[in-house]
Amino acid sequence: MKALVVDDDEGIGWILDRVLQEEGLEVLLAGSIAEARAFIADKAHDDINIAFLDVYLPDGNGMDFLAEGSLNMPVVMLTAETTFGHAAEAYRIGAMEYLPKPFDLDEVRQLVQRVRPATEPVQVKASKTEDNLIIGRSQAMQQMFRTLGRVAESDLTVLITGESGTGKEMVARTLHDRSRRADQPFIAINTAAIPAELLESELFGHEKGAFTGADKARTGRFEQADGGTLFLDEIGDMPAALQAKLLRVLEEGKVQRVGGNQSKVLNVRLLAATHQNLLKNIAEGKFREDLYYRLNVIPVQIPSLRDRRDDIPELAHHLLDAAAEELSMTAPILLDDAVELLSRHDWPGNVRELKNVMRRLAVLTPGASITLSDVALALGNIGNSQVEEETLAQAVTRCTRQYLHQLGYAQATNLHAHLLEQVEPPLLLLAMERCNGNQLKVAEMLGLNRNTVRKLLRKYDIDPQFFR
């Protein structure tokens, strides 16, 4: 199967390319109507199964392009506009679907399934980055994906910030894998893990005899990354003296080995990361302001796991399957109440902690299913008695969030009535059960008029005789 994506927003293109390839599609990316016409005219691409078409493009309007009739495949219109007029017009001129931005990736997958031939096997493509944990449908992650998509193919310096364990190196590797330098070296170094007196030599290399023990010349990480990408993790821990030397390398584009007197011009894309607040460090005199602005050309903030709890179920299942595959075993089933407990945990170690917990569960779970008790034990609790009880307000908040996610924020109109229709039937059923079908007692229990209770029973087709 093939998909044509016509959108001049590189971030949107990057997201769609990623999810469509995961669904086994070959993706053709066009940034304009002219590029889309070229793909359609090419006989090698006369088997496009679905097109995702933006409304506003540099060389015209996607609606007009669709109305021409030259797109002989199902078309999904993409737009940041959310007016009824746009949607109605899209359907009128023949769009299969109208998808407002930001869109849910599940909706994209469902649209692919609608056009997939029933006889075609699904061949899901593996990510270029093995063990890729950069997944998530939350708004924060989608915004980060858009930023990554816009800058991946450039040579711009990116400063990645986020708490420990959020996956900063994974983001850096993904940027490299999606760049024009993908076939060149990706060199990563944790500047906090190397003693200060050795870090300069590690970064820039040294000549023979430069210091005691330097019995031969050695290339540094900058030289090793020539033509590719250098990732400096925990840049906030770099000693002040070395910050000045790094700034000079970034300004001049060349390095000089320790003990050497010649400089070498290099072609290196620099990515940096830290869990620290560099602005605070600048105010305290711990980090150079000029270096900060050299590094912070494109800022990418990775949200903590507790700030994107909606992503935890998908991540947990993904990590459980990965652990089972690594251990050559069948993955146990993750029960719903176990997932809920995982979603309520604060995850101070973020994705790294979740990964370790899922590996622990894969190995130590005694049965075929992972229960609430199994998760409680894996998180360090002893039995369910020590698991923090969820208050009614917390449960309502969690369930309402899930309901809104399923409903789609863009369609969440008349929300009060929607929620009442979800809450009233189970509340009535529980009250009727508690009161053995006595409607007068139910009315007293709920604080409603008896006639109101009768109307609600009829509305939801609840038979009072069932409870007597």
Structure confidence by residue, pLDDT tens digits, 146-194: 788 778 888 999 999 999 999 999 899 988 988 889 899 999 999 988 8
Query: Are 92 and 233 contained in the same domain?
Result: no
Q: How many structural domains comprise the chain?
A: 4
Angstrom distance (rounded) from CA 444 to CA 428: 12
Report the pLDDT value the prediction gives residue 295, as an integer from 0 to 100.
96
Residue 244 shares a structural domain with residue 275: yes
- Return the closest-CA partner of residue 1 out of 74, 92, 84: 74
Domain boundary among 301, 324, 352: 301
pLDDT at residue 253 is higher than 60? yes
Same domain, 164 and 271: yes
- Shared domain for 278 and 312, answered yes or no, is no
Asked whether the predicted pLDDT for residue 259 surpasses 50, the reply is yes
What's the pLDDT score for residue 353?
Answer: 92
Res. 130 pLDDT band, cuts 50 70 90: very low
Mean residue pLDDT across the chain: 84
**Are residues 315 and 382 both part of a single domain?**
yes
**Residue range(s) defining the domain that contains residue 286:** 139-301
pLDDT, position 402: 62
Q: What is the pLDDT of residue 238?
A: 93
Buried b (16+ CB within 10 A) or exposed e, 143-162: ebbbbbbbbbeeeebbbbbb
**Does one domain contain both 271 and 349?**
no
Residues 357 and 313 in one domain: yes
pLDDT of residue 383: 39
> What is the CATH number for 445?
1.10.10.60
Residue 402 lies in a domain: no
Range scoring the smallest mean pLDDT among 6-10, 209-213, 366-370:
209-213
pLDDT band at 12 (very low <50, low <70, confident <90, very high): confident
Residues 106, 155: one domain?
A: no
Domain harbouring 364, CATH code: 1.10.8.60
The answer to whether the pTM exceeds 0.85 is: no
Give the tens place of pLDDT for each residue, 400-442.
Answer: 766 665 555 455 567 788 788 878 888 888 888 788 888 888 9
CA-to-CA distance for 188 and 130, rounded, in angstroms? 16
- The reply to whether 63 falls in a domain is yes
Q: In what order do the strands lie in the sheet with 269-274?
A: 186-190, 229-233, 269-274, 158-161, 298-301
**Residue 468: pLDDT band by 50, 70, 90 thresholds?**
low
Q: Is-cis flag, bond preceding 102, omega within 30?
A: yes
Phi and psi dihedrals of 246, rounded to 5?
-65, -40
* Complete DSSP assignment for 405-436: HHH-GGG--SHHHHHHHHHHHHHHHHHHHHTT
60 located within any domain: yes
Instruction: Please identify, among 301, 328, 345, the residue that sits at the C-terminal boundary of a domain.
Output: 301
**Domain identity same for 432 and 284:** no
Q: How confident is the model at residue 270 (pLDDT cuts 50, 70, 90)?
A: very high
| Mean per-residue pLDDT, 360-375 | 86
pLDDT given for residue 405 in this prediction: 59
Q: Is the pLDDT of residue 388 over 60?
A: no
pLDDT at 398 over 90: no
Residue 410 lies in a domain: no
* 122 domain-assigned: no
Report strand pairing: 229-233 vs 333-334. unpaired
Q: What is the CATH number of the domain that holds 281?
A: 3.40.50.300
Domain shared by 151 and 249, yes or no: yes
Say whether both 31 and 108 belong to one domain.
yes
Q: Which of 102-106, 323-327, 331-335, 363-367 has the lowest mean pLDDT?
A: 102-106
Mean pLDDT of 111-133: 58
Does some domain include residue 133? no
**Angle, nearest 10°, between helix axes 392-407 and 336-344?**
110
The verdict on residue 329 lying in a domain is yes
17-21, 192-196, 268-272, 373-377, range with greatest mean pLDDT:
268-272
| End residue of a domain, out of 253, 272, 301 | 301
Task: Please give the full DSSP string across 319-388, using - where no structure is assigned.
Answer: HHHHHHHHTTSPPPEE-HHHHHHHHHS--TTHHHHHHHHHHHHHHH--SSEE-HHHHHHHTT--SGGGSP
Same domain? 240 vs 197: yes
> What is the pLDDT, as a whole number, of residue 389?
54
Does residue 255 lie within any of the structural domains?
A: yes
